Amino acid sequence: MSRPYERKSASRTRVIPEAKDQWYALHVLSNKERRAVENLKRLFLEDEEMGALNQSEPLVPTEKVEEVRNGKKYVQERKLYPGYVYLNFALRRPDGSVNNDAWYKIQAVDGIISFACGRSKEPLPMSAKEVRELMSEISRRSEGPRQKIVFNVKDEVVVLDGAFKDQHGIVEEVDAERGRLRVGVTMFGRSNPLDLDYSQVQLVPEEDRGKSDLSL
């Protein structure tokens, strides 16, 4: 799963998962993911009805990243999706209607901005496929520390997924804190800026750079 779930539109015919399988993505304040989780857990502990609807602990997916500084190895924990918390919660009833009371209480929790609903007005649970992809990505990233990769402006990279998969591009901006890049990919003589996660690109080996049709 290359990006956090964010539904673009609601579907009246969407099948609502069973209570235990409903997962939602929550927008939270940057660098306040842990605090939001603790506040959610406190809500579920103090409010018996909310606690009964909660299916598991709120989730902040992370990975361990290894880097070498001054000849020493350091391992740090990094959030996979900064600004997001994933919640396994029975927010929708079997008939598809939203438990408005629970919805409002969750959005009122300190640190939470909103449900990741895209343009729809009501939160929709992630599909079974989206949940599988999320859990698979979490499992893959937990296999062991990943060596930190440093990107720099003007580096040549290849895109690993999406509409521009296998296309080469040039790094235009680097957001190391969030692990994101802006990459310029040239198509039909025009540069297309893409905002990508580190995990969505790969550095082109030095000996292979410049072989594609790119202009720095």
Residue 200: CATH number of its domain: 2.30.30.30
CA distance 79 to 175: 14
The two beta strands, 146-147 and 62-69, are parallel
Give residues with Cβ within 8 angstroms of 4, minimum separation 6. 25, 81, 83, 84, 116
Predicted pLDDT at 69: 55
In the predicted structure, residue 70 carries a pLDDT above the cut 80: no
Instruction: Confirm whether 13 is domain-assigned.
Output: no
Range ranked top by mean pLDDT from 71-75, 121-125, 175-179 = 121-125
Query: Are 95 and 195 part of one and the same domain?
Result: no
Predicted pLDDT at 78: 84
CA distance 6 to 127: 11
Instruction: Confirm whether 6 is domain-assigned.
Output: no
Least confident of 17-26, 106-115, 163-172, 195-204: 195-204
Query: Are 136 and 64 part of one and the same domain?
Result: yes
- The count of domains in the chain is 2
Instruction: Confirm whether 216 is domain-assigned.
Output: no
Amino acid at 57: E
* Rounded percentage of the chain residues whose pLDDT exceeds 90: 48
Query: How many residues belong to the chain?
Result: 216
| Segment holding 52, helix H or strand E | helix 48-53
Instruction: Confirm whether 10 is domain-assigned.
Output: no
In the predicted structure, residue 34 carries a pLDDT above the cut 70: yes
Would you list the DSSP string of 127-173? Answer: PHHHHHHHHHHHHHHTSSPEEP----TT-EEEE-SSTTTT-EEEEEE
CA distance 32 to 10: 28
Instruction: Confirm whether 127 is domain-assigned.
Output: yes
What is the span of the domain harbouring residue 135? 19-147
Least confident of 17-21, 28-32, 154-158, 197-201: 197-201
Sheet holding 168-175, edge to edge: 190-197, 180-187, 168-175, 156-159, 201-203
Of 100, 130, 147, the one marking the end of a domain is 147
Query: Are 112 and 163 part of one and the same domain?
Result: no
Instruction: Confirm whether 14 is domain-assigned.
Output: no
Query: Are 196 and 139 part of one and the same domain?
Result: no
Look at the pTM and tell me if it is higher than 0.85.
no
Instruction: Confirm whether 7 is domain-assigned.
Output: no
The pLDDT tens digits for 149-183 are 778 899 999 998 888 888 999 999 998 767 789 99
Amino acid at 171: V
Helix (H, G, I), strand (E, B) or coil at 181: strand
Of 116, 147, 178, the one marking the end of a domain is 147
Tell me the β-bridge partners of 85.
26
Of 147, 170, 191, the one marking the end of a domain is 147
Query: Are 92 and 181 part of one and the same domain?
Result: no
In the predicted structure, residue 113 carries a pLDDT above the cut 60: yes
